[in-house]
Structure 1
């Protein structure tokens, strides 16, 4: 037979209201009384009836997080930041891995529409702008990470936006390379429609414009995300990055630096560099975006422009909880956090024996 909160109150010698405050983590309860109630709950095996509570409050105390990969260190760290805040606020986290599949993402967002989630944090780009704008305009509590929508920029909505300063990242990495004498700078990135990639490329363009230069379109290489790849066991980001890098270096040997916007590509890029005899950093500089645990242990250690991923996760979770608990809250401007530029040994000035690399 299920133990009730009333029975817990009787056994602990307190009111039902006091037990309710302990269960819901709301209101003041003296520490000794709280400890006595929790001891009784453990003794009798009391489990709160969440379904009944949800019917009363109209909330599930559950938040969805939609990501594209469970293997990425970026998403692991992001999830940690989100979960730490939600646990402290008394919310549960439902993790949804889309594997870059728009259908899976839409199915998970349907849980929000059906009232099974109080809100959603999403850090994907699988769905079209039109679909996401429609959701935003329906005033569901949502927070987007590293994604913006100009269509709703000036509209009141319950959506919020948290991101790293991606324009700053692209600008400062490129500026540093230009100061080292690099002019033939290549970029390998994922989706061409990604807000992250667009802003980084705009930052790169601004840095080069300050030097009277422009990025060369033939050196900007888009490596497809998994759903865009043809079927086959070898069609991973690393394999495709390897093929793209081999073609790039064969047709443009003057390339002196490569920016990598998505670190799963690095294995393929570094394999290609080894095979063509381009040693890092002696004959080509290499820079990654978004730091990851193995970056300092690569040979050579990788220079990275890293987003404060954990803090981005925490900021997104705090903002979503605020929007859930205060439906009138409107945050017009995105929350933007500065990245960290960690210079290691994978970049160097353009070598004098490669004059074509410094040609403008």
Structure 2
């Protein structure tokens, strides 16, 4: 069935196309009798305005593109919810895409959303797309980075992130002060700022307390559940196992916990676990887990406020906001 056009509405209501357009857009003069004829024709024909054509004419679509590494990760969905709670009442809707920690997929999503003429983009980048991101920003489409910076820092692009170096330092320090000598570390990818910053914070703490960084105790993951599962298998096969495991994101920590449980480990007895980011399952599996409590919803609200300022008030920025890490669950975990 073909789409009903404005031309057919004009014919049904007995007025010109221009008059129909004025009535539907509430611009210009039309008598009440003419308005009623147009609305009656619209209802009878079930006419739906062409949103794409209208957006081209208005030079806005009232949509915001959100590209995050993992759409199933509660952390990123809480960021998205915070954004939505700020912008929806202002008439904006969100379009989501999951980059899956793949720069190629992320690039494709960015290109599609840009071609769809979203009014702005919010991005937690998987890396390697700096040039494209800068070109989108330069074209006049605002870009807000959340959680992660570009590989080469750019102060002209809005940024909402956590103090990842400080948070990783705090986690590492808490394990050292509890007496752990062998700390196994599950790192994230070094090509994204969260991975490199958390690694840097870990190194700072180890050097400050004059602890050696043993390569045997390093596992390099990809911020995925599978990475956590592989890390568990790796540390379990060591002849001298670590007494504590330090995991640099919540998704890897979840995979780590699941695999340890599958293999019969006694949680809090065989290992102490510290996670950058809270794991919802920890309340059941590992209630005393040490973690950095993040603020994803608040970060999303901050990004939403920046979007509204840019899109509605002509704000120019650049804006930068850094959230402080908060430690949880450090009691009674000494070894």
TM-score by length of 1: 0.72
- Please give the alpha-carbon distance, in whole angstroms, between the structure 2 residues aligned to 1:92 and 1:264: 27
Going from structure 1 to structure 2, the CA distance change for 1:339 and 1:48 (only over 3 Å counts) comes to farther
Conserved 8 A contact 1:181-1:349: yes
Going from structure 1 to structure 2, the CA distance change for 1:105 and 1:153 (only over 3 Å counts) comes to closer
Going from structure 1 to structure 2, the CA distance change for 1:275 and 1:210 (only over 3 Å counts) comes to same
Q: Could you tell me which residue of structure 2 aligns to residue 186 of structure 1?
A: 184
Question: What are the Cα deviations for residues 213-268 of structure 1, in whole angstroms up to 9, with x where unaligned?
Answer: 3433332211246xxxxxxxxxxx44553333222233252412111223333354
Matched residue of 1:251: which SS? coil
Question: What are the Cα deviations for residues 305-330 of structure 1, in whole angstroms up to 9, with x where unaligned?
Answer: 12100011111122233233456613
Going from structure 1 to structure 2, the CA distance change for 1:243 and 1:59 (only over 3 Å counts) comes to closer
Going from structure 1 to structure 2, the CA distance change for 1:68 and 1:153 (only over 3 Å counts) comes to closer
1:291, distance to aligned residue in structure 2 (A): 1.9
Going from structure 1 to structure 2, the CA distance change for 1:272 and 1:16 (only over 3 Å counts) comes to closer
Decide which of 310, 329, 332 is 1:343's aligned counterpart.
329
Matched residue of 2:100: which SS? coil
RMSD across aligned positions (CA): 3.5
- Please give the alpha-carbon distance, in whole angstroms, between the structure 2 residues aligned to 1:311 and 1:17: 42
Taking the TM superposition and a 5 Å limit, the aligned residue runs for 1:124-203 are 124-149=125-150, 151-154=152-155, 157=156, 159-203=157-201
Matched residue of 2:298: which SS? helix
Going from structure 1 to structure 2, the CA distance change for 1:197 and 1:89 (only over 3 Å counts) comes to same
Question: What are the Cα deviations for residues 185-221 of structure 1, in whole angstroms up to 9, with x where unaligned?
Answer: 2211332212112111211222222212343333221
Q: Which runs of 5+ in 2 are unaligned?
A: 1-8, 14-19, 30-38
Going from structure 1 to structure 2, the CA distance change for 1:51 and 1:295 (only over 3 Å counts) comes to same
Q: Which runs of 5+ in 1 are unaligned?
A: 10-14, 19-39, 226-236, 351-360
Q: Could you tell me which residue of structure 2 aligns to residue 35 of structure 1?
A: none
Going from structure 1 to structure 2, the CA distance change for 1:206 and 1:190 (only over 3 Å counts) comes to closer
Conserved 8 A contact 1:282-1:348: no
Deviation >6 Å, runs of 4+: 44-49
Q: Could you tell me which residue of structure 2 aligns to residue 68 of structure 1?
A: 69
Instruction: Establish whether residue 246 from structure 1 lines up as the match of residue 233 from structure 2.
Output: yes
Q: Could you tell me which residue of structure 2 aligns to residue 258 of structure 1?
A: 245
Conserved 8 A contact 1:133-1:152: no
Conserved 8 A contact 1:169-1:339: yes
Matched residue of 1:213: which SS? coil
Conserved 8 A contact 1:69-1:97: yes
- Please give the alpha-carbon distance, in whole angstroms, between the structure 2 residues aligned to 1:139 and 1:218: 48
Q: Could you tell me which residue of structure 2 aligns to residue 28 of structure 1?
A: none
- Please give the alpha-carbon distance, in whole angstroms, between the structure 2 residues aligned to 1:247 and 1:98: 27
Matched residue of 1:324: which SS? helix
Instruction: Establish whether residue 121 from structure 1 lines up as the match of residue 122 from structure 2.
Output: yes
